[in-house]
C-alpha cells in the first residue's frame, strides 16, 4: 500500500438507520471509508440502538479495525402534533394558533410539545417550521395560545420541528429523555456523545458532571453549534468541549442563512486553534439520498469544508435512509482525497509555547517537515498528543499507538490520525521498537525511512509528553 498516496486525512461520519443497520451493509460502509458511526437518539428505541451498537462491534471484529460510535442526543426540541390529515397546506396571511392543548391539528390550530411558549415569546417573534420551509411571525398571545401570521406558506406534516430564532426559551438544556439516553449510552460504552442545541459553556459543564457521576468519565462530549446563543459563546464552548459539530440544519434556521458559511469557517478555525476535532454536518451529499450522483454544489460544499480545516464530514439521511449508502461513502471518500491535494493548510507556530507537551508536538511537526520523514509516531495514553500534533496539520501520516481501546476509537475522529493498539510496556526502547513495527506492518514505513517518534518519560503517565526522537528504519 502506498500510504502517502492513498491515506485520507479527513474523517467520515455516517449515520446508522434502516438503510445501513445490517452487518453486510455496515461492513460495506466501513470498507468504503466510514470512521465514525452516528446513532441518532431522536429515532428508534433502546432495543434498536442496542442492536445497532452490537452490529458495529461485530463489523469491527470481522474487519479487524476499530470503529468509533457517536450517540447524538435529541435535545430540547419543540414539535408539532398530529393533524386531521397527514399533511396540511398553509397559505400566506393564514392565522395559525400554536397551542399546548391536545388537539388534532388543522390550518387554524395545531398542537405543539411545549407548555410555556406563550410566556417565552412576544408579538413580532419569528417562527419557522419544517426546517425553515414555513415562516411566520407572532401576532398576538391569548392565554396559552400563540397566534402566528403565516408569511411563507407551504405543506406541513406531523411532528415537525419549530424554531424561534433569538428567543430565550425556558426549555431545559437536557430533557428527561436526554438524561435516560445518556445513561443508556454510558451503559453501552460509546465513544462520544453529541449534545444538541447547546446554548453556553455551562450546558457542557453540567452535562459533563452528570456523565461523570454516572460512570461516563471516558466518554467525550461533542458540542453541536446550532443556535445564536452558542455562536455568541463559541470561545467558551470550544474551550470546555472535547469536540465541536457545525450542525448547519438548525443553525441555518436560527441565524440568517447567508451567515452560515462564514460562521462555519469561524467555528472550524477556532476548533483547529484549540486542537479539538470539528465535524461539519447536514446536507453535505443530500441529493444522494435518492440519486446516485451528487450535485456540483454539494461537491463544492464538501471540498470547502475540508479546505476550511474540518476534521470530519458527516452523512445523515444519505446513509440512514438513502438508496445508495455505500456509494455515497465512496463518493465522499473520493471528494475528500481530491480536496486534500490543495495543500492549503500550513503549519502555524506560536512565537512562544509555554507548555512542554505543546512545544514537543510543534517540534515533531517541524522536524517532519524539514527532514521529509515518512510518518510521525506518537505514543499516547489519553489521545491528547496526537490531537496536538494534528492541530498543526502535518503533511505526513500521524500514527497513534495506545493501550486504551476507547482512546483508539476516539482518535478516529481526529484529522490525519491512524490509531493502533499497543499493549502497555515498561521500557521506552521496547515501546519505540514495537510502534515502528506496527507502522511498518500497516504499510506506513519501509526500510530506510525516517520517522519522528513522540513519547513521554515516565512511560504511561498522562501529560508527560516530553521526548522527540528521529529514527531510521533498518
How many structural domains does the chain have? 3
Residues 186 and 324 in one domain: yes
Q: Provide the percentage of residues in the chain whose pLDDT is more than 70.
A: 96
Same domain, 292 and 266: yes
- Return mean pLDDT, the chain: 94
Mean local confidence (pLDDT), 419-438:
92
259 CB-near residues (< 8 Å, 6+ apart): none
Q: What average pLDDT does this structure show over 107-113?
A: 97
Q: What is the pLDDT of residue 358?
A: 84
pLDDT-wise least confident of 106-120, 123-137, 257-271, 343-357: 343-357
In a domain, 346, yes or no: no
Q: Give 167's DSSP letter.
A: -
The answer to the question of residue 292 being in a domain is yes
N-terminal to C-terminal alpha carbon distance within the chain: 19
* 312 and 222 within one domain: yes
- Residue 413: pLDDT over 50: yes
**Residues near 368 by Cβ (< 8 Å), separated by ≥ 6?**
376, 394, 395, 396, 452
Looking at the structure, tell me whether residues 158 and 179 fall in a common domain. Answer: no
Q: CA 392, 276, 32: angle at the middle one, nearest 5?
A: 85
Query: Which of 104, 132, 163 corresponds to the end of one domain?
Result: 163
319 inside domain: yes
User: Which is it for strands 375-379 and 312-315: parallel, antiparallel or unpaired?
Assistant: unpaired
201 and 63 share one domain: yes
Average pLDDT, stretch 178-190?
99
Please, are residues 405 and 431 in contact by the beta-carbon 8 Å criterion?
Answer: no
pLDDT band at 353 (very low <50, low <70, confident <90, very high): low
Whether 277 and 325 share a structural domain: yes
**Which of 305, 340, 375 is the last residue before a domain boundary?**
340
Shared domain check, 291 and 235: yes
Which domain range does residue 413 map to?
356-472
* Confidence grade of residue 45 (pLDDT, cut at 50, 70, 90): very high
Q: Is the pLDDT of residue 97 over 70?
A: yes
| 329: in domain | yes
- Report the distance separating Cα 372 and Cα 378, nearest Å: 17
On whether residue 41 sits in a domain, the answer given is yes
* CATH number where 155 lies: 2.40.33.10
Are both 67 and 201 inside the same structural domain?
A: yes
68 and 210 co-located in one domain: yes
Report the pLDDT averaged over residues 2-28.
89
**Lowest model confidence (mean pLDDT) among 288-302, 307-321, 457-471:** 457-471
| pLDDT beyond 50 at 89 | yes
- Flag whether pLDDT at 366 surpasses 70: yes
Instruction: Count CB neighbours of 169 within 10 A.
Output: 17
Q: Alpha carbon 322 to chain centroid distance?
A: 20
pLDDT of residue 3: 47
Would you please indicate which residues are annotated as catalytic (active-site) residues? 38, 79, 224, 282
Burial 266-300 (b: 16+ CB within 10 A, else e): bbbebbbebbbbbbbbbbbbbbbbeeeebeeebbe
* 200 inside domain: yes
Judge whether 80 and 103 are in contact, CB under 8 Å: no
Residue 421 predicted with pLDDT over 50: yes
Domain assignment present for 345: no
Q: Is residue 178 part of a domain?
A: yes
Domain CATH number, residue 439 = 3.40.1380.20
Radius of gyration of the CA atoms of the chain, in A: 24
Q: How far apart are CA 219 and CA 48, in angstroms?
A: 21
Spatial distance between the Cα atoms of 62 and 314, rounded to a whole number of angstroms: 24
Predicted confidence (pLDDT) at residue 5 exceeds the cutoff of 60? no
* CATH number for position 71: 3.20.20.60
Element (H, E) at 327: helix 325-339
Q: Which of the listed residues 118, 140, 163 is the one where a domain comes to its end? A: 163
Is residue 300 pLDDT above 80, yes or no?
Answer: yes
Q: Do 220 and 325 reside in the same domain of the chain?
A: yes
Strands 109-111 and 95-99: parallel
Q: 231-280 pLDDT, tens per residue?
A: 999 999 999 999 999 999 999 999 999 999 999 999 999 999 999 999 99
Regarding predicted confidence, which is higher, 455 or 328? 328
Write phi, then psi, for 288 (nearest 5 degrees). Answer: -80, 0
Nearest to 164 by CA among 214, 122, 220, 204: 122
Asked whether the beta carbons of 237 and 200 are under 8 A apart, the reply is yes
Q: Are residues 47 and 125 in the same domain?
A: no
151 lies in the same domain as 251: no
Alpha-carbon span 265 to 249, nearest angstrom = 16
Q: Are 201 and 223 in contact (CB under 8 A)?
A: no
Amino acid at each position: 500500500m502506498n500510504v502517502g498516496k492513498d491515506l485520507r486525512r479527513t474523517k467520515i461520519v455516517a449515520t446508522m438507520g434502516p438503510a445501513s443497520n445490517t452487518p453486510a451493509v455496515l461492513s460495506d460502509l466501513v470498507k468504503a471509508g466510514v470512521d465514525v458511526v452516528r446513532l441518532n437518539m431522536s429515532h428508534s428505541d433502546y432495543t434498536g440502538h442496542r442492536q445497532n451498537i452490537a452490529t458495529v462491534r461485530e463489523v469491527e471484529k470481522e474487519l479487524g479495525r476499530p470503529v468509533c460510535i457517536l450517540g447524538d442526543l435529541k435535545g430540547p426540541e419543540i414539535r408539532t402534533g398530529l393533524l386531521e390529515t397527514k399533511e396540511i397546506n398553509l397559505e400566506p396571511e393564514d392565522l395559525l394558533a400554536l397551542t399546548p392543548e391536545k388537539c388534532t391539528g388543522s390550518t387554524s390550530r395545531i398542537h405543539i410539545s411545549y407548555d410555556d411558549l406563550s410566556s417565552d415569546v412576544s408579538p413580532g417573534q419569528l417562527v419557522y417550521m419544517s426546517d425553515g420551509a414555513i415562516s411566520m411571525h407572532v401576532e398576538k398571545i391569548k392565554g396559552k395560545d400563540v397566534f402566528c401570521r403565516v408569511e411563507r406558506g407551504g405543506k406541513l406534516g406531523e411532528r415537525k420541528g419549530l424554531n424561534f430564532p433569538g428567543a430565550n426559551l425556558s426549555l431545559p438544556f437536557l430533557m428527561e429523555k436526554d438524561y435516560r439516553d445518556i445513561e443508556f449510552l454510558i451503559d453501552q460504552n460509546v465513544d462520544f456523545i453529541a449534545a444538541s442545541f447547546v446554548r453556553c459553556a455551562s450546558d457542557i459543564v453540567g452535562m459533563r458532571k452528570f456523565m461523570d457521576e454516572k460512570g461516563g468519565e471516558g466518554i467525550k462530549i461533542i458540542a453541536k453549534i446550532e443556535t445564536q446563543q452558542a455562536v455568541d459563546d463559541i470561545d467558551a464552548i470550544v474551550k470546555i468541549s472535547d469536540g465541536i459539530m457545525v450542525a448547519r440544519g438548525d443553525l441555518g434556521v436560527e441565524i440568517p442563512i447567508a451567515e452560515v458559511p462564514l460562521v462555519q469557517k469561524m467555528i472550524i478555525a477556532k476548533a483547529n486553534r484549540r486542537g479539538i476535532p470539528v465535524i461539519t454536518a447536514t446536507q453535505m451529499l443530500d441529493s444522494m439520498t435518492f440519486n446516485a450522483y451528487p450535485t456540483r454544489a454539494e461537491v463544492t460544499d464538501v471540498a470547502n469544508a475540508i479546505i476550511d480545516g474540518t476534521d470530519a464530514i458527516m452523512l445523515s439521511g444519505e446513509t440512514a435512509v438513502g438508496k445508495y449508502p455505500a456509494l455515497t461513502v465512496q463518493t465522499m471518500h473520493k471528494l475528500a482525497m481530491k480536496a486534500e491535494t490543495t495543500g492549503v493548510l500550513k503549519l502555524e507556530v506560536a512565537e512562544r509555547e509555554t507548555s512542554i507537551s505543546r512545544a514537543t508536538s510543534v517540534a515533531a511537526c517541524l522536524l517532519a517537515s524539514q527532514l521529509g520523514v515518512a510518518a510521525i509516531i506518537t505514543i499516547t495514553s489519553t489521545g491528547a498528543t496526537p490531537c496536538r500534533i494534528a492541530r498543526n496539520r502535518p503533511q505526513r501520516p500521524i500514527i497513534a499507538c495506545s493501550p486504551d481501546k476507547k482512546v483508539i476509537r476516539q482518535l478516529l475522529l481526529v484529522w490525519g490520525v491512524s490509531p493502533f493498539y499497543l499493549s502497555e510496556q515498561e521500557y521506552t526502547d521496547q515501546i519505540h521498537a514495537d510502534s515502528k513495527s506496527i507502522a511498518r506492518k500497516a504499510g506506513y514505513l519501509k526500510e530506510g525511512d525516517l520517522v519522528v517518534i513522540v513519547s513521554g518519560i515516565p512511560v504511561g503517565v498522562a501529560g508527560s509528553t516530553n521526548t522527540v526522537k528521529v529514527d531510521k528504519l533498518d
